[in-house]
Structure 1
Amino acid sequence: MTLAERLAHYATELKYEALPQEAIHEAKRRIIDSIACAFGAWRSETAQQVRTVATQVSSPYGATVLGTAHKASPDWAAFANGLLIRYLDYNDTYLSKEPAHPSDNLAAVLAVAEAEGSSGKETLLATVLAYEIQCRLCDSASLRARGWDHVNYGLFSASAAASRLMGLDATATRHAMSIAGVSGLAMRQTRVGEISAWKGCAFANSSRHAVFASWLAKYGLTGPSEIFEGKMGFMKQVSGEFTVGALGGEEGRGFMINETYIKYYPVEYHAQSAVWAALAMREQIGGDISQIERIEIDTFEACYSIIGSEPEKWRPQSRETADHSLPYIVGATLMDGKVDLDTFDEARYTDPALLELVSRITVRHDTAMDARYPEGIPNRIMLHLKDGRTLTEENTFPRGHARNPMSDEEVEAKFYVLTEWALPRARQDEALQFVWNLDAQPTIAPLMELLRVE
């Protein structure tokens, strides 16, 4: 059996009754968190650009462009809503050989669930399924090391989830995964150097491909054979050879959704621990940054390579570069005593005083920290003060990490803050209650109505 055949059989045979309560509960938390992130991004220029295009597409087999009454085709709804979920770099994360943001899958899940009239239980099952496949692939091989983007694994996870919601059998599901995989590959250049608005669109585009592929497979279109193992397949061209071990529910294994992390701060995940360390250091100096002569940050390879090594990180020219810059994030935290959406406004990331502080930051790759990743994300900050003292603070398991998870109340608080501009409190409460009781809902259509921006 090929890997695509195995994953397709798993996708069609997994039963809701096999899901443990903790996986179901976590799926609800991730839907709440993703909606919050989407509303936080809704007014951005990039979101408006994408929404302008998506709302020009209408379909009787439709799914809501979040926040509107418009129903686009489900592939376009997945693209528009996927951009919203991802744009702020505030949605969840999984760290392994290949880091990922598995809640990116939810744009495809929600779009197809709405178009198909799927129940809440079916939506939750598809969510857990998508997380399972993407995270197990992330455990299997690094794409970043070979110049490919992490969103490529999402082609397979999102198409498996979409196919399940469409009621495809294992053969059609395999074809959907093959069509998505062969046609939708994304290069890592998206996240190198000065980062553009496409960063937030990258997985959204994978979701669009995945839904489109599943939709075609639903009506009988076939895809290439041996998408993973073939002579010109994924393993030969993209990932290198790998195997996937037991999946959730097999051989007593738990489900991967419970091993992923919700973000407490709107920054690239490897910087979360650095934010907590910087806040602790700021408290030690009483908030007086005039005492600081220079700053050193020691970190592990993935953090150094992704957000701490390129010269663009010291003078970001875009929001996307700023939220992927370890020196900028640490500098802003030390200066402002907080990190929020305003941290990444153009006026803030171009502020001369802040950039002067950032210029005094050095980031180093400490190879001794590599062994502690991905179980943890160790960052060590050293403040060298003008009076000759050196202060040191280290953090490995920031709030939101699987070893230090956010509470339901904290997830709700994030939802309230990010949606308050758009939804009156009564509708915020209704939307939360709808998701907390999603397993009892016959469809998700009422949720889309509750989330409409008036």
Structure 2
Amino acid sequence: MIKSLDNEECQMMIGPLEEDDFRENGIKVPGIDKPMSLLDASWNIGTLIRWLDYNDCFLAEEWGHPSDNLGGIIATALHLEKSGHRMTVRDVLGYMVKAHEIQGVLSLSNSLNRNGFDHVFLVKLATAAVTTKMMGGGREEIKNVLANVFIDAGPLRIYRHSPNVTTRKSWAAGDATARGVHLSLLNRKMSEGYLNVLEDADWGFNNVVMNGKDITVTQEMNSYVINNILFKAGFPAEFHAQTAAEAAMALHGKYGDRLADIETIKVKTHESAIRIIAHKDKLDNPSDRDHSLEYIIAVSLLNGDLKTEYYYDEYHQGFPVIDDLLGKMDVTESKDYSREYLERDKRSIANSVQLIFKDGTESEEIEVKYPVGHKFRRDEVRPILGAKFKDNLKDFFSGEKIEDLLGLFEDRETLEKMKISEFWNNFLDD
């Protein structure tokens, strides 16, 4: 979230939606010196969390980033605290688990993307349900707000795919979580239900949006999603490409000085990656590049690491070798990878990369099935997350303050009892 403040385009999007619409008793957000309304704060927090594509991820039939819901959840918690409700960090974490579970379990068996709709619909839905609960809503109120979310449906995925990729993919989640709060507030004024919002033969969600396929819930909601969440730990890249980047970095270590000798770069991947981030004709902007399997492999081969700066126009234009490498990619689907991607006890995100040289020799095939942030690599990821935390804050806070914050996270009992406003104030201007 804090690191997003480095990005000039993000800076253009944050702040109140109406110019100078600040609120004396509103909610403060990092990078903005005056407090804002609940809806503006939801939008801003959600946008900052999502902008760099560096927050957590959950992949299934649908995919998404459940921590996107924190925009609405944190803003609502701060708003409620100002209204006299006690709201602790533990309370917020509990609501976060609920939002993760709602969004993630629905992702297991319902593919919006196959019908052209974007996954942030599930952010709006989860945020609306949880913030309605936070505002005192009961079972009927939550059912009614969910019905209104289904009536709203969701945005088309067009802005995530060439030739229409824009920064909307960086602010869409902030928009979705704020819309969820907006529906919660409307529902508080007059809670009305639509019992057949899913099943109506003419106007229901299942027929209109899902092309006749029912929305399903395949397991009881508990804590499965939070326990299987993917941490975006080492580098910013669309998650279907994370293991490909890791494989390419490994090859860089041995063959980084032979890039000009490469004839073909053989890539095996899973079906979701083929459909969403592979085979792009044009890479016109950073939003295109950080969602291109081939581009991510190319810059990882070139550098042996992956940074946000590698997606910028200036970087791409400054290294013609990137386009040369892109032209050598041969990307195919592995049926085994596609199957294991959906298996409940594996949830792999596998890729393999192999270099074929002009003289007929070949590199070893580097296969990585589980990214560093996967549950199977939790021990490995902890120190990386600590380093990521420090790196993302170093341009904004003093080293002493960063160490104090790390110490706070290590004291679980104190942290969980802390008022959410006290915790949040740590991340405002130093």
In the superposition, the TM-score normalised over structure 2's length comes to 0.89
Letter in structure 2 aligned against 1:332: V
Which residue of 210, 229, 242 corresponds with 2:180? Answer: 210
Taking a change above 3 Å as real, the CA distance of residues 440 and 92 of structure 1, as seen in their structure-2 partners, is closer
Q: Does 1:258 align with 2:236?
A: no
Residue 440 (structure 1) shift: 3.3
Q: Does 1:400 align with 2:373?
A: yes
Write the deviation string for residues 233-281 of structure 1: whole angstroms up to 9, x where unpaired. Answer: 32222232032134334xxxx4321111001220000100001111111
Which residue pairs with 2:287 in the alignment?
320
Which residue pairs with 1:74 in the alignment?
38
**Structure 2 CA distance, aligned partners of 1:96 and 1:68?**
36
Does the CA-based 8 Å contact 1:431-1:447 persist in structure 2? no
Which residue pairs with 1:100 in the alignment?
64
Write the deviation string for residues 11-63 of structure 1: whole angstroms up to 9, x where unpaired. Answer: xxxxxxxxxxxxxxxxxxxxxxxxxxx12211212211112444733346633
Alignment of structure 1 residues 158-173 onto 2, 5 Å = 158-173=127-142
Write the deviation string for residues 122-152 of structure 1: whole angstroms up to 9, x where unpaired. Answer: 1011100000100010012111111111111
Which residue pairs with 2:126 in the alignment?
157
Letter in structure 1 aligned against 2:421: A
Name the SS for the 2:58 alignment partner: coil
Which residue pairs with 1:233 in the alignment?
204
Residue 180 (structure 1) shift: 3.1
Which residue pairs with 2:388 in the alignment?
414
| Aligned alpha-carbon RMSD (Å) | 2.1
Residue 70 (structure 1) shift: 2.4
Does the CA-based 8 Å contact 1:379-1:395 persist in structure 2? yes
Which residue pairs with 1:280 in the alignment?
250
Which residue pairs with 1:129 in the alignment?
98
Letter in structure 1 aligned against 2:135: M
Which residue of 353, 376, 400 corresponds with 1:381? Answer: 353
**Structure 1 CA distance, aligned partners of 2:169 and 2:245?**
22
Name the SS for the 2:356 alignment partner: strand
Which residue pairs with 1:390 in the alignment?
362
Which residue pairs with 1:196 in the alignment?
166
In the superposition, the TM-score normalised over structure 1's length comes to 0.85
**Structure 2 CA distance, aligned partners of 1:146 and 1:431?**
43
Residue 345 (structure 1) shift: 2.1
Does the CA-based 8 Å contact 1:327-1:362 persist in structure 2? no
Write the deviation string for residues 333-370 of structure 1: whole angstroms up to 9, x where unpaired. Answer: 11111101221222112232322222222222333432
**Structure 2 CA distance, aligned partners of 1:427 and 1:354?**
39
- 5+ residue gaps, structure 1, are 1-37
Does the CA-based 8 Å contact 1:177-1:214 persist in structure 2? no
**Structure 2 CA distance, aligned partners of 1:332 and 1:440?**
41
Residue 97 (structure 1) shift: 0.7
Q: Does 1:430 align with 2:400?
A: no
**Structure 1 CA distance, aligned partners of 2:173 and 2:229?**
17
Which residue pairs with 2:335 in the alignment?
367
**Structure 1 CA distance, aligned partners of 2:227 and 2:274?**
27
Alignment size in residue pairs? 410
**Structure 2 CA distance, aligned partners of 1:271 and 1:96?**
15
Identity %: 25
Write the deviation string for residues 194-237 of structure 1: whole angstroms up to 9, x where unpaired. Answer: 31010011121111110111122223343544433344232222
Letter in structure 2 aligned against 1:381: V
Does the CA-based 8 Å contact 1:184-1:206 persist in structure 2? no
- 5+ residue gaps, structure 2, are 82-86
**Structure 2 CA distance, aligned partners of 1:439 and 1:184?**
37
Name the SS for the 2:64 alignment partner: coil
Greater RCO (Cα-Cα under 8 Å, separation 6 or more): 1
